[in-house]
Amino acid sequence: MITKTTRPNGTSTRLRPEQFGELVFHREVMRRYLSESALEAITRWERGEPISPELADEIANALRQWATEKGATHYTHWFHPLTGLTAEKHENFFEVYGGKVLSGFNGSELLQQEPDASSFPSGGLRSTFEARGYTAWDPTSPPFIYGHTLCIPSVYVSYDGHALDYKTPLLRSIEALNQSMKKVVALFYKGVERVYPTLGIEQEFFLIEAEHFAKRLDLRLTGRTLIGAASPRGQQLEDHYFGSIPERVLSFYEELEIEAWRLGIPLKTRHNEVAPAQYECAPVFEELNVAIDHNQLLMDLLQRTARRHGLECLLHEKPFAGINGSGKHNNWSLSTDTGINLLSVGKTPKENLRFFSILSIILKAVYTHADVLRATIATPGNEHRLGGNEAPPAILSVFLGKAVSEAVEALTRASELPQLKDKTPLSLLLPRLPHLLRDNTDRNRTAPFAFTGNKFEFRAVGASAHCAPAMIVLNAAVAEAAEEFVRAVEARRAEFPSREKAILSVVRDFLIESSPIRFDGNNYAAEWREEAEKRGLSVSFHVPKVLKSYINPATIQLFASRRILTETELHARYEVRLERYVKAYGIELHTLLDILRTQLLPAALKYQSDLAKLLESPALKSLAMVQAPEKLSQQILLERLQSHIQGLWHGIEEAEARWKDLTALPSIEEQADAVYEHIRPIMTSLRQHADAVETLIPAEVYSLPRYADMLFAVR
């Protein structure tokens, strides 16, 4: 089935640096296709100034020319509705007048499109009869060609101006962060005109045989296996992680990287992950908005490329029970337009003070808005992953590492600023090896939010998630803390002999206030849960309750005062999240019931009837007499099977009744609670019976590929 092969050092498809960005309308291409005044207009437009219709026409014309030269026939606004996926509606570049074909695509088509909004989730922001929605070009993310279509990254709003997407609030949060961080940075540096967040997203995923995928209704409809007995071999041997990449996967990776590079996605790293059949790839970090666009595109590319290799890429957070799930580490930092990473450890006392100022702001931000940050990652898929001993737990805390923690502790005790070292030599006692440098922080895989040397890493984001919700909250929370920081410094300026001392006193207060959120220990330990509760941190696994933080007063204040989202828009988002929770479980439950009724139970009954016939045979009857009063093993097996079949049957009936009750509940909140409280436990119990049946019946009567088949097939 696979035609391509790649041998180590072989001659097949290889990454060529000159291909990078060849399908992207980036600055350099613009310079070739646009006049000076159009280029300037784009720069001003990026800063929020309107563009004249003439210049818009010129840009559209250049874009069409460039795109058609590259083989594009269609264009689309490419936007991010609240489904978590991207959306597109293609139009071709041509106009037909009286049988003649002319080239179309003008400035107004570039700037704005009007897709019907009625079939996207809006959380009640508009009813179906008010269908208008508008998409508008986001000039901060460059247009690109995907297939034969020119894609124009866009925001998406309703007829009355409500944000219906992720990009709109994301761009607003980036601007809020810029505005407030600039004031903080002005305390340390001159000449900084812009501060922006950077993001590098590590993407985990599974690769399985397309053939296996096709045979599993649960994977096809829900992205995860709803039943399946554990494979005798899982990840116990720890031999997959960073292991030699299988041949077919390597050839998949090679094609993926070339395609990604052509699209301007700077993929850099690839390796095997912890679970069998699990992999990861990561690009070099970029400006946050572009990094998120690229991650959305990458997820699509991963799936398409896999299919071309006879594979299926699973992005679900927990495709297989009992082994690691997949996440998406969000490596986040702040940069100035003058090239300073604000989270880099300083070499001079001034830079050192800058580092601790920024650190204290982020700690305070995460501490203050931990609940809504936690809510952003509370999705049905991630629910199966968080809290297991494999992924960051559901309790939000920040890991700083020994050196930084000690410095922070010292700072909170004394008013002197400790000097942090960036990297220190590490003695290996092996004279012939080069000197290694030790980072200022160790790794702690268990921490959800970790400082990793010169950036923070938010690890709790799910593998299939859109990163915007988490990043919007983080940006906004940091913007808020930054404003507060600057206000406090100004207010205290007169009390202290120097501005540095005033700053230091605010840093101390921020660090002391946010100290409950700092935790360097083992986040998987049972004691952490207790300790976290004592510290007043939220400890909740109840997704619908966690989601409520979207509409708590602190969140509303955070978003509304920065015009990132209005209270109405937040309510809408809260509703969309609840709705998706209920719908995801509705689909899972009904898929599970379908598989049980049409695949698992028939297989069990078939085997049971074989057993029953066997027991009726004269040979077994005489054996039974010999062995009495002890029961025949065949009889025991029959009974064991029967108890699970019975359990399944009752479970199915109960599940149906519960779902019916649920749909009669008047509010989406109550429905979500019912899912959490009633539907999930029934699904767990059904699964236990099903998995037990799977281990009792012959493999050949069972039509679903089993865990061991799926996890160890791709070589």
Applying CB under 5 A, the residues found at the interface with Mg ion are 329
How many other CB atoms are found less than 10 A from the CB of residue 542?
A: 15
Q: State the nearest-atom distance from the C-beta of 199 to ligand ADP, in Å.
A: 6
Interface stretch with ligand ADP, choices 133-141, 281-289, 573-581, 589-597 (CB under 6 A)? 281-289
Q: Which is nearer to Mg ion, 329 or 548 (CB)?
A: 329
Retrieve residue 244's tokens.
């030699």
Q: State the nearest-atom distance from the C-beta of 286 to ligand ADP, in Å.
A: 8
Contact partner at residue 284 from ligand ADP, Mg ion, none, CB < 5 to 8 Å by partner kind: ligand ADP
Binding string, 157-176, against ligand ADP, x = CB under 6 A? --------------------
Q: Nearest to residue 133, comparing CAs of 165, 172, 175? A: 165
Q: State the nearest-atom distance from the C-beta of 447 to ligand ADP, in Å.
A: 12
Q: Which is nearer to Mg ion, 240 or 329 (CB)?
A: 329
* Gap between the Cα atoms of 617 and 118, Å rounded: 64
How many other CB atoms are found less than 10 A from the CB of residue 97?
A: 7
- Please give the residues from 403 up to 462 whose contact with ligand ADP meets the rule CB under 6 A: 452, 454-455, 457
Binding string, 241-280, against ligand ADP, x = CB under 6 A? ----------------------------------------
Rule CB under 6 A: choose which of 155, 184, 199, 407 binds ligand ADP. 199
Rule CB under 6 A: choose which of 178, 333, 376, 523 binds ligand ADP. 333
* Gap between the Cα atoms of 516 and 534, Å rounded: 9
Q: How far is CA 405 from the centre of its chain?
A: 28
- Please give the residues from 478 up to 497 whose contact with ligand ADP meets the rule CB under 6 A: none
Q: Which is nearer to ligand ADP, 399 or 707 (CB)?
A: 399
Retrieve residue 401's tokens.
């590492």
* Gap between the Cα atoms of 362 and 475, Å rounded: 10
Q: State the nearest-atom distance from the C-beta of 286 to Mg ion, in Å.
A: 16
Interface stretch with ligand ADP, choices 18-26, 65-73, 326-334, 673-681 (CB under 6 A)? 326-334
Place of tokens 């264009």: 75
Q: State the nearest-atom distance from the C-beta of 200 to Mg ion, in Å.
A: 8
Interface stretch with ligand ADP, choices 328-336, 422-430, 542-550, 666-674 (CB under 6 A)? 328-336
- Compute how many residues bind ligand ADP; rule: CB under 6 A: 16
Contact partner at residue 199 from Mg ion, ligand ADP, none, CB < 5 to 8 Å by partner kind: ligand ADP
| N-term to C-term CA, the chain | 13
Q: State the nearest-atom distance from the C-beta of 291 to ligand ADP, in Å.
A: 8
* Gap between the Cα atoms of 467 and 260, Å rounded: 18
Q: State the nearest-atom distance from the C-beta of 283 to ligand ADP, in Å.
A: 6
Retrieve residue 407's tokens.
């410095």
Q: Which is nearer to ligand ADP, 179 or 454 (CB)?
A: 454
Q: Which is nearer to Mg ion, 309 or 329 (CB)?
A: 329
Q: State the nearest-atom distance from the C-beta of 443 to Mg ion, in Å.
A: 8
* Gap between the Cα atoms of 461 and 325, Å rounded: 12
Retrieve residue 420's tokens.
């942090």
* Gap between the Cα atoms of 622 and 212, Å rounded: 43
Are the C-beta atoms of 448 and 539 separated by less than 8 Å? no
CA distances (Å), 713 to each of 139, 209, 213, 311, 315, in order?
Answer: 44, 7, 12, 11, 18
> Helices (DSSP H) in 47-129: which residue ranges?
53-69, 107-111
Rule CB under 6 A: choose which of 106, 118, 341, 412 binds ligand ADP. 341
Which amino acid is residue 653, in one-letter code?
Answer: E
Retrieve residue 18's tokens.
């000159």
**CB-based closest residue to ligand ADP:** 200
Report if residue 200 touches ligand ADP, rule: CB under 6 A: yes
Contact partner at residue 166 from Mg ion, ligand ADP, none, CB < 5 to 8 Å by partner kind: none
DSSP secondary structure code for residue 341 in this structure: B
Are the C-beta atoms of 46 and 140 separated by less than 8 Å? yes
Contact partner at residue 139 from ligand ADP, Mg ion, none, CB < 5 to 8 Å by partner kind: none
Given CA atoms 180, 181, 186, 192 in this order, what sign does their dihedral have? negative
Are the C-beta atoms of 463 and 313 separated by less than 8 Å? no
* Gap between the Cα atoms of 153 and 77, Å rounded: 6
Q: Which is nearer to ligand ADP, 133 or 283 (CB)?
A: 283
CA distances (Å), 178 to each of 49, 254, 335, 365, 539, in order?
Answer: 17, 37, 10, 15, 32
Retrieve residue 560's tokens.
């509304």
Give buried/exposed letters for 691-714 (b at 16+ CB in 10 A, else e).
Answer: bbbbeebeeeebebbbbbbbbebb
CA distances (Å), 304 to each of 255, 256, 298, 299, 308, in order?
Answer: 11, 9, 10, 9, 7
Q: Which is nearer to ligand ADP, 351 or 656 (CB)?
A: 351
Contact partner at residue 371 from ligand ADP, Mg ion, none, CB < 5 to 8 Å by partner kind: none
Q: State the nearest-atom distance from the C-beta of 539 to ligand ADP, in Å.
A: 26
Contact partner at residue 198 from Mg ion, ligand ADP, none, CB < 5 to 8 Å by partner kind: ligand ADP
Contact partner at residue 96 from ligand ADP, Mg ion, none, CB < 5 to 8 Å by partner kind: none
Q: Which is nearer to ligand ADP, 265 or 372 (CB)?
A: 265
Q: Which is nearer to ligand ADP, 271 or 307 (CB)?
A: 271
Binding string, 206-235, against ligand ADP, x = CB under 6 A? ------------------------------
Taking each helix axis from N to C end, the angle separating 553-560 and 567-595, rounded to the nearest 10 degrees, works out to 120
Contact partner at residue 454 from ligand ADP, Mg ion, none, CB < 5 to 8 Å by partner kind: ligand ADP
Rule CB under 6 A: choose which of 184, 267, 282, 473 binds ligand ADP. 282
Contact partner at residue 137 from Mg ion, ligand ADP, none, CB < 5 to 8 Å by partner kind: none
Which amino acid is residue 669, in one-letter code?
Answer: E
Q: State the nearest-atom distance from the C-beta of 359 to ligand ADP, in Å.
A: 14
3-state SS, 314-338, equals ECCCCCCCCCCCCEEEEEEEEEECC
Contact partner at residue 285 from ligand ADP, Mg ion, none, CB < 5 to 8 Å by partner kind: ligand ADP
Given CA atoms 140, 146, 150, 151 in this order, what sign does their dihedral have? negative
Retrieve residue 304's tokens.
């398409």
Rule CB under 6 A: choose which of 202, 204, 254, 280 binds ligand ADP. 202
Q: Which is nearer to ligand ADP, 206 or 285 (CB)?
A: 285
- Alpha-carbon Rg for the chain, nearest whole angstrom, is 28
* Gap between the Cα atoms of 499 and 483, Å rounded: 17
The residues of the shown chain that bind ligand ADP, judged by CB under 6 A, are 198-200, 202, 282-285, 331-333, 341, 452, 454-455, 457
